[in-house]
Each structure stands twice: as C-alpha cells, then as structure tokens.
Structure 1
Amino acid sequence: MAHQWQFEFGTPSRAGYHNEEWSKKMQSIGLMPSHNGKPGGKKTGQNMSDYVISGSFFEQSYNQLVAENCIVTWYDRIILSSNLAEPIKAKLEEEIKQIQIDGGNESKLKEKELIINALSKIEIIQMKPAGNNGDKNKKKYTCPGCDNNVWGKPKLNLICGDCLKKFELNDI
C-alpha cells in the first residue's frame, strides 16, 4: 500500500528502488523498512523487507483486529486449494501445541488459531487465466500488397491503411 500511496501522491524512484519518501511513509504507518528484514538494516534500497515497529499504529490496529476476531478474505489469481491448505493447518496446529507446552505468548496463539480458522473457510473458485482470457478464436490476416499482419476475430473485413488492399485471412 505504501507503493500505491507513493504512485498516487509521491515521487516514485526507478523500477524496484525504494527511496527515502517510501521509507518515511512505511515508518509513519508502523513498518520499519530494512534491507535484511532485521533491526539496523538499511532503510532504502533495491530489495527491501520490513518488520513491525513495536507500539506503532500498525501493531495497535493489528492487535485490535485480532481481538475482534476479524478475518480478511480476498480473491487472487493463485488459488490455495484445500489439499494445499491441509499441510499448512497441520503445521500451525503443531506450532499451537508447542506454544501451549512452552506456556507461550497468548497473542501468537490467537494469531495461529485465526489463520487456521481462515484456512478452513477457503472457497475454491475458478478464475479466468491471465493474459488473453483463453481466446483461441483470433485469426491472422495479411495484406497481400505490403505483407502487414494483424490479428482479430474471424470474418473481419479489413482494409490496409498503407496500400488500401483488403487483408486476407491466413489459415495457419
């Protein structure tokens, strides 16, 4: 979201570079940029990670959402099928057991339980493939006068703008 903010209201750097403006925005919402994902890492650079700033707005908001048992759902082109979700749930359940054995952190326990709950509610949906939406009906047309090519629906009536000849359908 900080990237989107910078695109809309700031001054983005070259592709992939995270500049000081982006870094300050991240910090203002409670995420510390770090080139290595650890405290003390560089705050700007090409490949960046981040971590939550203790006591920040981000951490307070997250804790409030966890306390309210909030679950955010979204759809993505990459769908996590139920057979992929099961091993993740099993791993989380083992982590919960270990936290309980260690007499561990209640917020970590609740976080893992929320994830398991969300995974159990995953809906498998069919999404259209990215790209040309699977359109296999496009045909290639070639101008007999100047060999220009175009692609389009079958049965188009196309005239070349360069030599004014009618494009011919290529049955390749």
Structure 2
Amino acid sequence: MKKLTPTAGQYISYQSAFDYWNMKLFENTLPNCILNFDRHRGAVGTFRWESWKRKNSIINEISINPDHLNRSFEKVMQTLVHEMTHLWQYSYGKFSRYNYHNKEFAAKMETFGLITTDTGKAGGVRTGRGITQYSLKEGWFMSYFTAMPDNIKMPWQSTTPEESEPNSREITRQSRNKNKIKYYCRNCPPIIAWGKSSLALICGLCSKPMLEVMEA
C-alpha cells in the first residue's frame, strides 16, 4: 500500500473527525463543506458561509487555525464542533451574522455538553461575540470524545508557537481594529475588505454583495 503523503494524512484525519462528530452529535444531518486550515490571526476557528463554488453549487467552509493544533486534542475537537454548530445553524436554524453567537447556538452546544462562555470557564456570558466553550464531564461530547478512534487525531502540528488567548476567548480581534469586521467576495477571491459590522458592501469588480467572515 502506498504511504500517505503528509497532506493526505492530515486531511483524511480532518475529514474523519468531521464525519465522526456529524454522526455522533448531528445525526449525519450536516451538509458537505470545505474543511480548511487558515492562520486567521486572533481566531482558533472560523466559519465562512457560501464561500466555495463549483458550477451552480455553493458550499460553506470550516477552518481551523493550524497554529492552535498544539493545544490539547480535546480543545481542538471542541473548536471543530463549535464551527460545525455554526454550519448546523446556518443550514437549519436562525443564524446570526456579524460574529454573534445567539441563544439558539448556545442551546444547541449545551445539548452536546459544551457550555458557551466568554471566559472559557463557568459563569461567563453565554451569548455574543468572542464566545468559546468548556465541556461537561457527563456530557455527550466528552462521552464520544473518550471513545474516538486513534486514527482521527491529526498527525501534523504547526511549528509556529501558539498565540496566547486572552481571557480564553475564541476571538481576540488583534488584527487591524478590534471593532472592524472582515468581508470577502465569494465571486472574486481573494477580494477582502474591512469595516464595522452590518455594512452592505458591494464588490467593485463584480458588483455582488460582500459577505462577512464568521469567526469562531
């Protein structure tokens, strides 16, 4: 059997992790998406809706910051499930734009035994921007995490030192201005713009509306 290349091995494990949580927590209801690694400064994970296209098909993207793969594997999987919950909410729920984690998002995470918080600990604010999570020992997430097959763990980690996470938040917003949001054009990548939330930006090349990057 031909030995897997580093790229193939890493992404097979990545896809296997997505498939595992899709089966265990989402009953295989999540649509296909592009799984990516993105060194997005200030975020351990991002969700970008409708950011990939093929002919008449458009799909979403989940990215994990490779510089944070050096965290515990449990934390990495928490981030993946966090982004998968954004995908679930965008597909079936009441999705909030502008990087906002609403009550529906928090409630869905809680059914998995993952409690949203702005501090990474119990007692924090559970909705809003800059939301992370912690796991309950008796929750479904921890139960399935301890039973995960060994081959799902991603074999490669970044050599770049992990950035600190002030207040244990998913988003630190160290890039540009902390009040600015990143926008992109799904038709003309890599067209990027920055501005405050709730802007109705139009791409200067194709005249299509620009979309906001959903971080963490």
TM-score class normalised by the smaller sequence = 0.3 to 0.5
More strand by share: 2
Flag the structure with larger Rg. Answer: 1
Larger relative contact order, structure 1 or 2 (CA cutoff 8 Å, min sep 6) = 2
TM-score of the aligned structures, taking structure 1 as reference length = 0.41
More helix by share: 1
